[in-house]
Chains A and B, each alone.
Chain A
């Protein structure tokens, strides 16, 4: 990620836990239930202790008292089971809510990221952060937080119970705590970078998958499947190696070690106890209780350490998600009242570069009066498309000011700008939904308007040939339409939203001349009502323009009307001659 976060000082754990606080009421319920469950869980063995010490050992067979103990035991058992289930469900509801909120926030942030971010971040790895990483975070709430609280309470309960029985022995058991705490700290330090690496590699796997799927046809046609397979499997292997190292660390430091510690304490306990008994008589029931309590004391600690890798994984995933969430967006402060009414466009000494090394736009100025038709021509790579991207506010120019209706571009709210400025792109994106939804973009537009617009864009006859007409579901990448048909659809999409300013960026490149003429007519009807900015190779498309701007290496080389330009020596005349010569060759 290009923008790493430095200002945020709150740790990822605190931030993640913050999401659980949204549902305070449920959280309290869950904690209360957890408390009851734990208390009931600790009480049950106490009853057994009482039963053994007071009744079995002395041979005191008082039936009614014994029955009461039995009933109490069953009661606590049922109570523990029920409350446990109820708290688990509540914690899960909280967790799912938290993950959902997080996903929505990340998505909203991603949608607002500047486009330059998307130019440099592989789609697959961004998807990985938004889905796989958020999925791992869920574990924090479900498996870590609940288990941690529960086990801490258990430990506390056991400590209290032990203190009542024999405080010296309690101290022996308590030795456990700092040692385990140290282990946890150590584990966290060592494992964090390992987890980061593993999750980073999972991201890479996603990125690779994404790219391969998009470009599979190219791979196949070039017979490069074996090479791509090798590349992918070595990436999967790297991911495996990283995770194997994680597993090794888990093995050395987590459960087995805590288990060993438990054995040490058991030995210490037995030794102390037996050693005491060499001189003084001891209560057998106390030994029984202690051995049981030690088990009950170690068990929660073991469980905590068992969850430690889930915890660490969730924290690392959280860090990755927050990185995306904290990516700084240069905030423009729009004026909500700024409106685009006439569609006058003005570019004032614009300079722009994608990478700050190579200047793409160099000091371009341009004024399009409302309702006029301007065109931009030039060789490929001369900066034509970049200019439209600046006008759409996809990128911010490094120098200069863009104005619409005499107000700075940045003063318009997103809604206002998008309402007023329409674009038809060369490589239009098709959503995986019906033709109709692809045209209206799910806005409520009535059927006659849609069909009328589709006719204007020369699309209607093509749609009629589709099996379900306007209801035909287009697939991702629009592969059930040809490239030309996709461009027509993009045209309809722009027209149906009735923009004040319409930008056509090589929008008719893959369309036959006849269909193009149809579109041309439609455009001419808009003349005077809508400001048109058209980028095209075919000079025929733009000869009727009020002004033509000839770009050359990011600078304005020539400007003027078609007639004026062909009579000038320069690029335009050259481009024009190229085109006519082709036709005169015969």
Chain B
């Protein structure tokens, strides 16, 4: 029942819909009582031979009228109630999505894509059932039950009613017990579905690798195991669910048995007429639904609460990066970083003892070994990650004191592995400022040396890319990402090894474009090819997570360390090529 409390925000929001449904259901359950009453009266008057033709027509007309009113009301509550529960699903999906947009990268490392998708679809559906079907069964079951009981007591006999209700507490006990089993098995089933979703997603994403290594048979076997687990988990749920019906059936049948036996006894005692017994057993049939409703409600509530817990787990995750800074303006792009140590996991430092400043308008180079922590450093600057022993100041204020939007709007990052959305090329370039004109988009694309190629596509800038669109080469994707960053003309531009898939000729052109287009602004360039940082105002060389060398290109050469060695190495390459 806690689940109903947790969903109370929604019930309050849509109380009108629920109120209308409630009233309609109430009226229906009262009106529904009239039919057996009419039937009983007719039967009695037939038995007593007191029936007249006029009386018959009257009763039949009443019966039909009630039928039509009930029809109208039934349509009404369905529209209200199911409409509301579907709305809940839409709202919850929105909530989950909104919440995900607040999450830092760490969150997406912990939660797999397929799992997140399962929670936003499959689990939401289970909660939706609670807000629709379960609420209905609860309302209708309780109301019908109460009304029928009142009718039974008032119209027929309280003794008989009490007798017929004897098996109920026993059923209640079993339902309660099944509820617990349902919760556990359903939780497991939802978890297994998540795994299935995850596995499916992973296999489709990795299809190229799977095909390239001929791994289909292995993957099929592994997938088989997953589907088997899902089936087993679902079967466990089904087995619990299958217990509900027999228990309810036995209860109802026992009630019937007791009612008829007791009724016969009362007739024998002359306390009851046959017509009354007919009415009573008819009322008893009306109790079948409330009883099933009771079981059904408990079943759905357990499912809903298991699913809701899974959704809540996501929604309760506080963003690893809290957006509680207040500063929303920046004067200069002065950056001052001081990282005593930073680690993703305990005792496994990725960075330590790093201090540097980036003067506005300067170009800052970061070079170093594969895995030396270059990308991590960039993530820290952008506050995608943060650590307790790192202090990074932007415009002389700690970046934590800025609103995240303000901070990030200062940067334009071109990541190592560019990501394109399933929209047109123009929209992909204009991601950061959707209102940009095509001319502005093209200007950025020209700086990134991709305009010519785009103009060669059949639909030019309107060409769809990404999952639904054309296949682009790695270099084309990278240059679109560069254009994306250049279009927003950020105060600080960051290239995170962003020219790796671009050939040398193009790299050279892009760097030249940037040099003129970004005069007076800061650039941070992470690279492997030293050619990209020759003109930087300062270069740091990272090794095993710390700064090993620093200075301008010429100074670094004089140091005769890793940088000089690497530079010579690249020169030897050149010399060898001279032949």
CB nearest to B578 among chain A residues:
A580
In angstroms, how far is the closest chain B Cβ from the Cβ of A498? 12
User: Is B79's CB under 8 angstroms from A354's CB?
Assistant: no
Q: Judging by beta carbons under 8 Å apart, are B531 and A432 in contact?
A: no
In contact, B97 and A233 (Cβ under 8 angstroms):
yes
Whether the Cβ atoms of B93 and A432 lie closer than 8 Å is: no
B169 at the interface (CB under 8 A from A): no
> Is A327 engaged at the interface, CB distance under 8 Å to the other chain?
no
A355 within 8 A of B: yes
Query: Which residues, 252 to 285 on A, are CB-close (under 8 Å) to B?
Result: 252, 255-257, 259-260, 263-264, 266-267, 270-271, 273-275, 277-278, 282, 284
Q: What sequence of 0s and 1s flags, for each residue 416-435 of chain B, a beta carbon within 8 Å of any chain A beta carbon?
A: 11010110000000011010
Cβ A270 vs Cβ B121 within 8 A = no
- Does B156 touch A at the CB level, under 8 Å? no
B75/A82 in contact, CB under 8 A:
no
For the complex, is B357 an interface residue (Cβ under 8 Å from A)? no
The residues of A that contact B245 with a CB separation of less than 8 Å are 84-85, 88
Is the pair B94, A205 in contact by a Cβ cutoff of 8 Å?
no
- Categorize the interface residue count of chain B: 35 or more
> Is B506 interfacial (CB-CB < 8 Å)?
yes
Contact B370 A484 (CB under 8 A): yes
Within 8 A of B (CB), among A41-76: 44, 48, 51-52, 55-57, 59, 61, 66, 70, 73-74
> A482 contacts which chain B residues (CB < 8 A)?
370-371, 374-375
Residues A247 and B83 in contact, CB atoms below 8 Å apart: yes
Contacts of B411 in A (CB 8 A): 221
Interface residue A414 (Cβ < 8 Å from any Cβ of B): yes
| Docked CA distance A585–B567 (Å) | 13
Is A523 among interface residues, defined by CB-CB distance under 8 A? no
Could you mark each residue 47-78 of chain B with 1 if its beta carbon is under 8 Å from any beta carbon of chain A, else 0? Answer: 10001010010011001101110110011001
- The listed residue (A82, A104, A284, A425) touching B220 by CB distance below 8 A is A104
From B175-183, B304-312, B472-480, the one touching the partner chain is B472-480
**Can you name the residue of chain A whose Cβ is closest to the Cβ of B576?**
A543
Complex-state Cα separation, A162 to B237, whole angstroms: 38
User: A236-B93, A509-B500 in contact; A135/B422 too (CB < 8 A)?
Assistant: no
- Assess the B193–A135 pair: CB atoms within 8 A: yes
B522 at the interface (CB under 8 A from A): no
B15 within 8 Å of A (CB atoms): no
Pick from A232, A282, A394, A465 the residue with the most CB of B within 10 Å.
A232
Q: Which residues of B contact A73 (CB under 8 A)?
A: 253, 257
Distance from A406 Cβ to chain B, minimum over Cβ atoms (Å): 22
Binds A, one of B84-92, B331-339, B389-397: B84-92
Residue of B nearest to A130 (CB): B200
**Complex alpha-carbon distance, A295 and B256, angstroms:** 15
Q: Is A108 close to B, CB under 8 A?
A: yes
- B209 near A428 with CB under 8 A, answer yes
Q: Which of A383-426 contact B (CB under 8 A)?
A: 384-385, 392, 394, 414-415, 417-419, 421-423, 425-426
**Segment at the interface with A among B144-152, B211-219, B436-444:** B211-219
Partner pick for B246 among A82, A247, A251, CB 8 A cutoff: A82
Q: Which of B304-353 contact A (CB under 8 A)?
A: 344-345, 347-348
Known: A218-B415, A537-B504, A574-B505. A89 touches B74 (CB 8 A): no
- Docked-complex contact A223 and B473, CB < 8 angstroms: no
- In the complex, the answer to whether B109 meets A475 with C-beta atoms within 8 Å is yes
Q: Are A288 and B257 in contact (CB under 8 A)?
A: no
B-chain residues with CB within 8 Å of residue A77 when the two chains form the complex: 249-250, 253-254, 257
Q: Which residue of B lies closest to A227 (CB)?
A: B434
B559 CB within 8 Å of chain A: no
Q: Check A108/B220 contact, CB under 8 A, given A206-B121, A240-B90, A270-B39.
A: yes
Whether B521 is near chain A, meaning CB under 8 Å from some CB there, is: no
B153 to chain A, nearest CB (A): 22
Count how many chain A residues have C-beta atoms less than 8 Å from C-beta atoms of the other chain: 188
> With A216-B108, A247-B86, A425-B209 in contact, do A259 and B71 touch (Cβ < 8 Å)?
yes
Provide the bound-state CA to CA distance between A74 and B579, in Å.
Answer: 102
Is A448 on the interface with B (CB-CB < 8 A)?
A: no
Q: Taking A85-B245, A236-B93 as contacts, is the C-beta distance between A583 and B579 under 8 angstroms?
A: no
Task: Digitize B556-571: 1 where CB-to-A-CB distance is under 8 Å, 0 elsewhere.
Answer: 0000000000100111
Q: Please measure, in the bound complex, the distance between the C-alpha atom of A349 and the C-alpha atom of B203, giving whole angstroms.
A: 34
Check A583–B574 contact: CB distance below 8 A.
yes
Q: Which of B5-13, B112-120, B157-165 contacts A (4 or more CB under 8 A)?
A: B112-120
Are the CB atoms of B415 and A441 closer together than 8 Å? no
- Interface digits, A101-137 against B, CB 8 Å rule (1 contact, 0 not)? 0011001101110010011111110111011100100
| CA gap between A484 and B103 in the complex, in Å | 26
Q: How far is it, in angstroms, between the C-alpha of A417 and the C-alpha of B213 when the chains are bound?
A: 9
Most buried by A among B42, B93, B488: B93
Flag if A515 contacts B370 (CB, 8 Å): yes
**B504 lies within 8 A of A222 (CB):** no
B214 contacts A358, C-beta separation under 8 Å? no
**B187: min CB distance to chain A, Å:** 16
Asked if residues A92 and B235 are in contact (CB atoms below 8 Å), the reply is yes
Known: A77-B257, A509-B500. A142 touches B238 (CB 8 A): yes
A372 to nearest B CB, angstroms? Answer: 20
Residue contact A218 to B370, C-beta cutoff 8 Å: no
Report A-chain residues with C-beta under 8 Å of the C-beta of B23: none
User: Is B400 close to A, CB under 8 A?
Assistant: no
Does B382 lie within 8 Å of A380, measured CB to CB?
no
Query: Which of B202, B227, B257, B456 counts the most chain A CB atoms within 10 A?
Result: B227
A575-B570 contact, Cβ under 8 Å, with A126-B204, A214-B419 = no
Q: Cβ of B117: which chain A residues have Cβ within 8 Å of it?
A: 124, 127, 206, 209-210, 213
CB atoms of B78 and A247 under 8 A apart: yes
Interface presence of A291 (CB below 8 A): yes
Judging by beta carbons under 8 Å apart, are A429 and B206 in contact?
Answer: yes
Q: How far is the CA of A562 from the CA of B93 in the complex (A)?
A: 58
Q: Closest A-chain residue to B68, C-beta based?
A: A260
**Given contacts A247-B79, A263-B66, A540-B576, are A240 and B208 in contact (CB under 8 A)?**
no
Question: Which of A103, A107, A443, A582 meets B203, CB within 8 Å?
Answer: A107
A213 & B246 in contact (Cβ 8 Å cutoff): no
B261: Cβ under 8 A from any A Cβ: yes
Excluding A81-B247, A104-B224, A509-B474, 15 further A-B contacts by CB distance (< 8 Å) are A73-B257, A96-B231, A100-B227, A111-B211, A130-B200, A216-B103, A228-B101, A255-B74, A284-B46, A426-B501, A429-B209, A512-B528, A513-B573, A562-B577, A582-B504
Sorted nearest first, the 9 A-B pairs with minimum C-beta distance are A418-B214, A380-B475, A263-B67, A484-B370, A256-B74, A92-B238, A251-B78, A540-B573, A88-B242
Q: Would you list 24 pairs from A and B whose C-beta atoms are within 8 A, ordered by A residue?
A: A51-B260, A52-B274, A56-B274, A89-B238, A96-B235, A100-B227, A118-B204, A119-B471, A122-B467, A221-B384, A222-B484, A223-B408, A229-B97, A252-B75, A270-B39, A270-B42, A284-B46, A418-B213, A419-B214, A480-B344, A484-B371, A513-B566, A514-B569, A580-B574
